[in-house]
Amino acid sequence: MAGGMKGAMMTDVLQGFLMVLTAIVTFFVSVRAGGGLEHINASLVAQNEAYVTHPGAKGSFPWAGYVSMIVMWSFFTIGQPTLFTKFFTMKNYSTLFKAVILGTLGMLLSATLIEWAGVNAILSVPGLEGKQTDFIVPMLLQQNLEPIFASILIAGIVSAGMSTIDALLVVATGGVTRDIYQNVINPQATPKQIFQLSRIVTVLIGIAGVAIGIAKPAGIFELIKFAFGGLGIWVAPVILGMYWKGATKEGAIASVIFGELLYVMMKLGWVKLNFGFDPLIISWGFTMLVLTVVSLCIGRNSDAAIDRHFNALSKSSAGR
């Protein structure tokens, strides 16, 4: 809460290592608790063949949903403000390149193993339904490891959440204090006023997050998908803003507003255009279209802005 963007990045290093360690250990614990992979697979097939086939036991993972998850967790990840801002803390391009590769591999490894462990644990931690399934990993570790070691690994699960939460707090606080308060409400605000307001906003947003966690309106995975989709809409202005000189501020604002509204309406079932895919995929396509059309019809970037964001950067890269 006090370290800002750099503080969030530094804590992410420790949290990331602990998260990957937890995923690896949890997977092997789930295999041992289930009697080995061969026994686990045979038992799952005996219980219900749908456990090992698409679209799953409850029909919630058809091919379109599976493709949506792959696209969402790969393509849309990098354009999210919570992750995009982390690159601002890196000292050079070499560090950035290594971070992208290592971060992607770490996420692939941890996500694959922890989700696989959850499937394996159907045998060793049976009977969980609905929101109870969110606790399958802590229960698996508690039942099969010494209390101290299990507690350390469960902290790895918390770390996975904290590494996202700290970035969300930084981005959300900056959006309220800089983009809204300083740029719209009080342009004459001093750095001290902004700093004090940032602390207050951070605490309020944190309390709101805790309240939602206690109320738990849905399972963790559903909540994450909903929030992830809302952030994924921002990939459109990020991509076109970086690679198209014709992208304008008016187009970015209009597209994000339209995209977010369409995404929420599709999630709530008011608009049915997703064709089995996650609503983010379709909403993002319309967001790109709106940004392009509005940018072509309204507003124009100044020559100074074009030179600053494109020409100057090209010259700098060529010089290195």
Q: Which tokens sit at 38? A: 């061969």
d(CA 118, CA 44): 13
d(CA 289, CA 259): 10
Q: Are 29 and 116 in contact (CB under 8 A)?
A: no
* Buried b / exposed e along 241-258 (16+ C-beta atoms within 10 A): beeeeebbeebbebbbeb
Residue whose token pair is 């995929």? 281
**Residue pLDDT tens, the chain, 320 long:** 566 677 777 777 888 888 888 889 999 999 999 999 999 999 989 988 888 887 877 777 788 888 887 777 777 776 677 777 777 777 888 888 888 888 778 888 888 898 899 889 888 888 777 777 778 888 899 999 998 988 888 887 777 777 777 777 878 888 888 888 888 888 888 888 888 898 899 889 888 888 887 887 776 667 777 777 787 888 888 888 888 888 888 899 999 999 999 999 988 888 788 777 888 888 888 999 999 999 998 878 888 878 877 776 555 555 45
Q: Which tokens sit at 36? A: 């080995």
Q: Are 69 and 278 in contact (CB under 8 A)?
A: yes
pLDDT at 99: 83
d(CA 97, CA 81): 18
pLDDT at 175: 83
Inter-CA distances, 264 with 211, 229, 233, 285, Å: 21, 9, 11, 15
pTM of structure: 0.70
pLDDT at 315: 57
Give which of 220, 228, 66, 62 is closest to 133, Cα–Cα: 220
Exposed/middle/buried for residue 103 (C-beta within 10 Å: 0-12, 13-18, 19+): middle
pLDDT at 205: 87
